[in-house]
Chains A and B, each alone.
Chain A
Amino acid sequence: MDLIEAIKTRRSIRTFADTAVEKESLLELVNAGVWAPSAGNMQVWRFIIITDSNQIEKIKNLSPGIFSKPKAVIAVCSDFDEATKKSGLQGERFAIIDASMAAENILLAAHDKGLGTCIIGSFHELALQKLLKLPPNIKPILLIILGFPAEVPKPPKRKFEDIIWWEVFK
C-alpha cells in the first residue's frame, strides 16, 4: 500500500470480526514499531502482546475506552528508569514521544495487513501495571487494540486552516 494512502485510509476501529490474529503478524507489527525514531536512540519502549481472551477481558475491565472485545492487545510501555538514565530530566517526555511514534508505525503496519486498530488511552494505569505484572519503572503509555475490522467508520474532518503558520505563529 502506498504510504500516503495508508495514512489517509487508516481508521480507528472499535469493533472486530471473530477472526484470530496470527502471532507471527503481531510480531511483525511490533517489529515495525521498533523501527520508529527514538530520541537519542534510547529505545526504552517495551511491548506486551496479549492474545489470551481471559487476559483481554481483564484488560477491558480496566480500560473504559475499550467498547468491544478485540482479538489482541499490544500494551506499549516505557522503561522510565532507563529513560531518565539515558536522557536525564527529558527522559520521561522522550519515552512518551517514542512510544507514540512506535505506536503509529504499528497502526500503519496493521492497516497494511488489513487489520484494524484503535489507540486506547482510557485505562487505569496502576491497575493495568498490576495486571500485566509490570515493575514500577515500566509504565503503560497506551494500548493498541486490534483485530480484523467488523466495520469501518467514516473519517472525521481534518482541519487544515488555522493550524499552520509559516515561520512564526501569528
Chain B
Amino acid sequence: MSSMNEHLESDFWNIICFLVVSAANLEWEKKEYGPLRLLEVATRLIKVLRDHGLVSKRLDVVQKRINENKYLIMTDESHFNQFLQSLALELVDLMED
C-alpha cells in the first residue's frame, strides 16, 4: 500500500471505529446522542477529504456550522434541535444547480 493510501486507510479506520462503537453504545446512551454522533462523523469525513486534497467551500461551511453548534447538545437540547433543522434547510442553499 502506498503511503498516501495507508494514511487514507488509517483515517477511515478511525471513522469506522467511531461508527461501530457509537452504534454499539447507542443501546444505552441517551437518544439525543444519535444525531450528535452522525454530525461528528460528517465533520470527520469532511476533514479527511480536505486532508487528502479535496477543496469544497460548501463542505467547509457545513463543517464550520457543525463545529460551532454541536456542543449545544450539552447545554440546550432545544437549541441543538433547532440548529439541526436549520442546517438541513441550509443544505438546500448549498446545493448546486
Contacts and interface: CB of A to CB of B under 8 A. Distances in A.
- Majority secondary structure, B binding face: helix
Contacts of A127: 21
Given A64-B22, A64-B37, A156-B74, A122 B29 contact: yes
Interface in B16-44: 17-18, 21-22, 24-25, 29, 33, 37, 40
A84 interface: no
A62 B21 contact: yes
Contacts of A124: 21, 24-25
B82 interface: no
Q: How large is the interface on B (under 10, 10 to 19, 20 to 34, 35 or more residues)?
A: 10 to 19
Nearest to B10: A57
Given A61-B14, A62-B17, A122 B33 contact: yes
Chain A interface bracket (under 10, 10 to 19, 20 to 34, 35 or more):
10 to 19
Given A122-B29, A122-B33, A61 B74 contact: no
B18 A61 contact: yes
A156 B75 contact: yes
A63 interface: yes
Interface in B41-94: 71, 74-76
Contacts of B37: 64
Closest 8 CB pairs of A and B: A61-B17, A156-B75, A64-B22, A124-B21, A62-B21, A64-B21, A124-B24, A64-B37
Interface of A: 12, 14, 57, 60-64, 67, 122-124, 127, 153, 156-157
